């Protein structure tokens, strides 16, 4: 783009002063969001005493990142690694499960006429408004009835259900899958399952990737539900695990070991895979928005 066109483009967004204000506000918000992350990254490189005693937003003392990270993975016979694997398993299951469930459900709401469709969809939308905390006790009791307390499925199954995801996929299916395409496949000789697998699934995969992402993040960061449902340490995901470590540190149960910096390093380790998954899928996700079915 030439400088002139660039200039003209900018002018569309208002005067220099307006732009300055907008940029400043955005900058402030970015600083606000990034500050804790910056603190965490720095703190993960410090020794335990430096975490407590030094200025949080400047590096200080020896660079101990690798020592801290290796410490977190060796502490208590590598229990953190075990928790991390749990997190990966629970999140992947929740992500894949909800992507599939929401795709199927959203597609049905978008393209099938059936009795009670409106009421059912209304119920799904309404359940978006219910905070997860409110459901915790009923969920606990339900899981205890079906003997799924302290069982991975007890955590995975509720994580798979995502009313927002179903809503999202319904809207996505309506825009990405024209009804004529389904008719064409039917006349071509495809049954309903075949249509979903061969035609629809491909078209809505960008939407499903979004749902997958949301669910993975939701399950990955979930602290409350696993804390409630699991009682055995080895079943815990890393979020709860870090909580346990921190609790032990605060109780002084760890003897002379430096646990604060280790917990922070563990938090950093826990954050990295999410960032990677997000960056990978974001590309896919954005490319999907421009891909629709072909019409004249």
Partner 1 sequence: MASITLTGLTKVYRDGFEAVAGVELEIGDGEFMVLVGPSGCGKTTVLRMVAGLEDITDGTLKIGDDTVNDVGPNDRNVAMVFQNYALYPHMSVAANIGFGLKLRSVPRDDVTRRVEEAARILGLTDLLQRKPGQLSGGQRQRVAMGRAIVRDPDAFLMDEPLSNLDAKLRVQMRAEVSHVQRRLNTATLYVTHDQVEAMTMGDRLAIMREGRIQQCGTPQTVYDRPVNLFVASFIGSPSMNLYEAILSDDASSVAIGSQSIPLPDSVRQARPKLREFAGRKLVAGFRPEHLHPAAGHGLPTIDAYVDLVEALGYELLVHFSIDANKVTAEDAQAEERMAARGAGVARFDPSTAVTPGERVRLAVDAARMYFFDPVSGATIWD
d(CA 175, CA 204): 9
Closest contact distance (angstroms) between CB of 182 and partner 1 is: 9
**Rounded-to-integer distance, Cα 207 and Cα 103, Å:** 8
CB of 188 vs partner 1, minimal distance in Å = 4
Q: Of 88, 110, 65, 97, which is closest to residue 203 (Cα–Cα)? A: 110
Distance of closest approach, residue 169 Cβ to partner 1, in angstroms: 18
- Side-chain-side CA neighbours of 225 within 13 Å: the count stands at 26
Closer by beta carbon to partner 1, 14 or else 191: 191
Nearest partner of 262 among 37, 34, 65, 57, judged by Cα = 65
Cα–Cα distance for residue pair 104/161, rounded to 1 Å = 12
Whole-angstrom Cα distance, residue 229 to residue 252? Answer: 26
Q: Shortest gap between Cβ of 84 and partner 1 (angstroms)?
A: 36
- DSSP code at position 256: T
CB of 202 to partner 1, least distance (A): 4
Q: Residue 201 or residue 227: which is nearer to partner 1 going by CB?
A: 201
Q: Which is nearer to partner 1, 1 or 187 (CB)?
A: 187
Question: Which is closer to partner 1, CB of 203 or CB of 269?
Answer: 203
Our CB check for partner 1 shows the closer of 36 and 292 to be: 292
User: How far apart, in whole angstroms, are the C-alpha atoms of residue 76 and residue 216?
Assistant: 27
Q: Which residues bind partner 1 (CB under 8 A)?
A: 178, 180-181, 183-191, 194, 198-199, 202-203, 291-296
Q: Which is nearer to partner 1, 11 or 186 (CB)?
A: 186
Query: Least distance in Å: CB of 200 to partner 1?
Result: 10
Between residues 20 and 291, which has the closer beta carbon with respect to partner 1? 291
| Shortest separation between residue 198's beta carbon and partner 1, angstroms | 8
Structure tokens at 154: 């007890």
Sign of CA dihedral 38, 226, 243, 236: negative
Provide, rounded to whole angstroms, the least separation between the CB of residue 250 and partner 1. 54
If one counts every other C-beta atom within 10 angstroms of the C-beta of residue 180, the result is 10
CA distance linking residue 204 with residue 172, whole number of Å: 7
Q: Which is nearer to partner 1, 129 or 294 (CB)?
A: 294
In angstroms, what CA-CA distances link 5 with 10, 50, 207, 240?
Answer: 9, 52, 35, 53
Vertex 280 angle, CA 278 and 281, to 5°:
65
């Amino acid at each position: 783009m030439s400088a002139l066109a660039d200039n003209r483009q900018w002018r569309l967004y208002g005067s220099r002063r307006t732009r300055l204000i907008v940029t400043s506000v955005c900058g402030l918000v970015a600083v606000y969001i990034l500050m804790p992350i910056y603190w965490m990254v720095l703190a993960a490189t410090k020794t335990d005493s430096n975490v407590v005693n030094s200025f949080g937003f400047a590096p200080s003392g020896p660079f101990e990142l690798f020592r801290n990270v290796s410490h977190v993975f060796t502490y208590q016979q590598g229990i953190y690694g075990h928790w991390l694997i749990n997190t990966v398993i629970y999140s992947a299951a929740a992500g894949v499960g909800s992507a599939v469930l929401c795709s199927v459900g959203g597609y049905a709401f978008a393209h099938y006429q059936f009795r009670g469709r409106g009421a059912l969809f209304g119920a799904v939308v309404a359940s978006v408004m219910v905070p997860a905390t409110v459901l915790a006790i009923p969920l606990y009791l339900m899981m205890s009835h079906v003997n799924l307390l302290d069982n991975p499925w007890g955590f995975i199954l509720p994580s798979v259900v995502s009313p927002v995801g179903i809503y999202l996929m319904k809207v996505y299916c309506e825009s990405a899958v024209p009804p004529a395409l389904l008719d064409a496949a039917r006349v071509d000789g495809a049954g309903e399952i075949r249509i979903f697998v061969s035609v629809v699934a491909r078209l809505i995969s960008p939407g499903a990737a979004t749902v997958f992402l949301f669910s993975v993040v939701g399950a990955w960061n979930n602290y409350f539900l696993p804390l409630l449902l699991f009682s055995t340490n080895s079943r815990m995901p890393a979020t709860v695990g870090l909580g346990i470590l921190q609790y032990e540190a605060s109780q002084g149960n760890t003897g002379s070991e430096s646990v604060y910096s280790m917990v922070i390093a563990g938090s950093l380790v826990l954050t990295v895979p999410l960032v990677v998954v997000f960056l990978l899928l974001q590309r896919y996700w954005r490319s999907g928005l421009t891909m629709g079915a072909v019409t004249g």
